[in-house]
Amino acid sequence: MNILALDTGTTTGWALLSNDGRVQFGSWHLADGASGRTGTRFLSLFNHLPEIQRQAPLQFVFYEEVHGHSGMAAAHVYGGLVGVLTLFCELNGVSYRGVTVQAIKKHATGGGTASKEAMVAAAAKKFCVHVEDDNQADALFLLDYAIQSLGNVPAQGQHD
Protein backbone atom coordinates (compact mmCIF):
# COMPACT_ATOMS: atom_id res chain seq x y z
CA MET A 1 0.00 0.00 0.00
CA ASN A 2 1.42 3.40 -1.00
CA ILE A 3 0.84 6.02 1.70
CA LEU A 4 2.00 9.64 1.66
CA ALA A 5 2.14 11.67 4.88
CA LEU A 6 2.51 15.46 4.69
CA ASP A 7 3.30 18.11 7.27
CA THR A 8 1.93 20.80 5.00
CA GLY A 9 3.43 24.28 5.16
CA THR A 10 5.93 26.59 3.49
CA THR A 11 8.42 23.83 4.29
CA THR A 12 6.45 20.65 3.77
CA GLY A 13 7.79 17.54 5.44
CA TRP A 14 6.86 14.36 3.58
CA ALA A 15 7.16 10.63 4.21
CA LEU A 16 6.21 7.93 1.72
CA LEU A 17 5.60 4.23 2.33
CA SER A 18 5.81 2.28 -0.94
CA ASN A 19 4.26 -1.10 -1.74
CA ASP A 20 7.73 -2.67 -1.42
CA GLY A 21 7.89 -1.59 2.24
CA ARG A 22 10.46 1.14 1.68
CA VAL A 23 10.04 4.46 3.47
CA GLN A 24 11.47 7.65 2.01
CA PHE A 25 11.20 11.09 3.55
CA GLY A 26 12.36 14.64 3.09
CA SER A 27 11.22 18.24 2.78
CA TRP A 28 9.87 20.37 0.00
CA HIS A 29 10.61 24.09 0.27
CA LEU A 30 7.54 25.85 -1.12
CA ALA A 31 8.68 29.44 -0.56
CA ASP A 32 7.47 32.28 -2.73
CA GLY A 33 10.69 32.46 -4.70
CA ALA A 34 11.88 35.56 -6.49
CA SER A 35 8.38 36.53 -7.61
CA GLY A 36 7.11 37.06 -4.05
CA ARG A 37 3.71 35.72 -5.13
CA THR A 38 1.97 33.36 -2.70
CA GLY A 39 0.57 31.33 -5.60
CA THR A 40 4.00 29.95 -6.41
CA ARG A 41 3.82 27.91 -3.19
CA PHE A 42 0.66 26.25 -4.41
CA LEU A 43 2.16 25.63 -7.83
CA SER A 44 5.23 24.06 -6.25
CA LEU A 45 3.11 21.61 -4.22
CA PHE A 46 0.98 20.96 -7.29
CA ASN A 47 4.16 19.94 -9.16
CA HIS A 48 5.55 17.69 -6.38
CA LEU A 49 2.44 15.55 -5.98
CA PRO A 50 2.41 14.04 -9.51
CA GLU A 51 6.10 13.16 -9.09
CA ILE A 52 5.24 11.10 -6.01
CA GLN A 53 2.22 9.60 -7.79
CA ARG A 54 4.43 8.45 -10.69
CA GLN A 55 6.92 6.91 -8.28
CA ALA A 56 4.31 5.15 -6.13
CA PRO A 57 0.62 5.34 -7.15
CA LEU A 58 -1.00 6.51 -3.94
CA GLN A 59 -3.86 4.85 -2.13
CA PHE A 60 -3.82 7.17 0.89
CA VAL A 61 -2.64 10.64 1.84
CA PHE A 62 -2.56 11.72 5.48
CA TYR A 63 -1.87 15.37 6.22
CA GLU A 64 -1.37 17.44 9.34
CA GLU A 65 -4.59 19.24 10.16
CA VAL A 66 -3.84 22.60 11.76
CA HIS A 67 -6.62 24.32 13.69
CA GLY A 68 -4.71 27.39 14.87
CA HIS A 69 -2.36 29.66 12.94
CA SER A 70 0.00 32.44 13.93
CA GLY A 71 -1.82 34.92 11.68
CA MET A 72 -4.17 35.41 8.79
CA ALA A 73 -1.48 35.05 6.11
CA ALA A 74 -0.36 31.69 7.55
CA ALA A 75 -3.97 30.50 7.64
CA HIS A 76 -4.47 31.48 4.01
CA VAL A 77 -1.30 29.73 2.89
CA TYR A 78 -2.23 26.58 4.83
CA GLY A 79 -5.76 26.60 3.42
CA GLY A 80 -4.45 27.01 -0.11
CA LEU A 81 -1.98 24.14 0.29
CA VAL A 82 -4.65 21.84 1.69
CA GLY A 83 -6.91 22.89 -1.19
CA VAL A 84 -4.24 21.89 -3.72
CA LEU A 85 -3.64 18.61 -1.88
CA THR A 86 -7.30 17.62 -1.61
CA LEU A 87 -7.96 18.60 -5.24
CA PHE A 88 -5.06 16.38 -6.33
CA CYS A 89 -6.48 13.51 -4.27
CA GLU A 90 -10.00 13.97 -5.66
CA LEU A 91 -8.74 14.10 -9.26
CA ASN A 92 -6.64 10.95 -8.76
CA GLY A 93 -9.02 8.84 -6.67
CA VAL A 94 -6.75 8.95 -3.62
CA SER A 95 -8.27 8.70 -0.14
CA TYR A 96 -7.14 11.47 2.21
CA ARG A 97 -7.43 12.27 5.88
CA GLY A 98 -6.36 15.10 8.15
CA VAL A 99 -4.87 14.31 11.55
CA THR A 100 -4.61 17.03 14.18
CA VAL A 101 -1.28 18.36 15.35
CA GLN A 102 -2.11 17.24 18.89
CA ALA A 103 -2.87 13.67 17.77
CA ILE A 104 0.47 13.44 15.94
CA LYS A 105 2.41 14.81 18.92
CA LYS A 106 0.60 12.47 21.30
CA HIS A 107 1.36 9.52 19.02
CA ALA A 108 5.02 10.55 18.90
CA THR A 109 5.72 11.50 22.50
CA GLY A 110 2.72 10.54 24.59
CA GLY A 111 1.71 14.19 25.02
CA GLY A 112 -0.14 16.54 22.68
CA THR A 113 2.04 19.60 23.31
CA ALA A 114 5.55 18.36 22.42
CA SER A 115 8.04 20.96 21.21
CA LYS A 116 9.66 20.88 17.78
CA GLU A 117 12.91 19.75 19.42
CA ALA A 118 11.13 16.93 21.24
CA MET A 119 9.60 15.73 17.97
CA VAL A 120 13.01 15.67 16.26
CA ALA A 121 14.56 13.77 19.18
CA ALA A 122 11.67 11.29 19.28
CA ALA A 123 11.98 10.66 15.52
CA ALA A 124 15.72 10.02 15.78
CA LYS A 125 15.12 7.57 18.63
CA LYS A 126 12.13 5.70 17.16
CA PHE A 127 13.14 5.52 13.50
CA CYS A 128 16.95 5.49 13.93
CA VAL A 129 17.36 8.11 11.20
CA HIS A 130 18.64 11.66 11.00
CA VAL A 131 15.85 14.17 10.37
CA GLU A 132 16.74 17.69 9.32
CA ASP A 133 13.87 19.41 11.10
CA ASP A 134 10.51 19.08 12.81
CA ASN A 135 8.70 19.01 9.45
CA GLN A 136 10.37 15.71 8.56
CA ALA A 137 9.84 14.37 12.10
CA ASP A 138 6.15 15.26 11.96
CA ALA A 139 5.78 13.58 8.56
CA LEU A 140 7.44 10.38 9.80
CA PHE A 141 5.22 10.22 12.87
CA LEU A 142 2.17 10.98 10.75
CA LEU A 143 3.13 8.11 8.43
CA ASP A 144 3.58 5.85 11.46
CA TYR A 145 0.16 6.96 12.72
CA ALA A 146 -1.33 6.23 9.28
CA ILE A 147 0.24 2.78 9.11
CA GLN A 148 -1.14 1.89 12.53
CA SER A 149 -4.59 3.27 11.77
CA LEU A 150 -4.70 1.31 8.50
CA GLY A 151 -3.36 -1.87 10.13
CA ASN A 152 -0.02 -2.17 8.29
CA VAL A 153 3.41 -3.06 9.60
CA PRO A 154 5.94 -0.18 9.62
CA ALA A 155 8.90 -0.41 7.27
CA GLN A 156 12.52 0.73 7.44
CA GLY A 157 13.15 4.44 6.96
CA GLN A 158 15.17 6.04 4.20
CA HIS A 159 15.90 9.71 3.70
CA ASP A 160 16.08 11.08 0.16
pLDDT band, very low/low/confident/very high, at 97 (cuts 50, 70, 90): very high
- What pTM did the predictor assign? 0.88
pLDDT tens for each residue of 41-94: 889 999 999 999 999 999 999 999 987 766 677 788 888 899 999 999 999 999
- pLDDT at residue 158 greater than cutoff 80: no
Residue 74: its pLDDT value, please?
Answer: 74
- Using a 10 angstrom Cβ sphere, with 0-12 exposed, 13-18 middle and 19 or more buried, the burial of residue 138 is buried
Element (H, E) at 145: helix 134-150
CA–CA gap between residue 140 and residue 109 (Å, rounded): 13
One-letter identity of residue 51:
E
pLDDT tens for each residue of 106-152: 999 998 889 899 999 999 999 999 999 999 999 999 999 999 999 85
More confident residue, 33 or 95: 95
Q: What is the DSSP letter of 118?
A: H
Show me where the domains of the chain are located.
3-159
Answer yes or no: are the C-beta atoms of 123 and 141 closer than 8 Å. yes
The domain made up of 3-159 has a fold known as Nucleotidyltransferase; domain 5 (3.30.420)
Residue 10: its pLDDT value, please?
Answer: 84
Residue 39: its pLDDT value, please?
Answer: 80
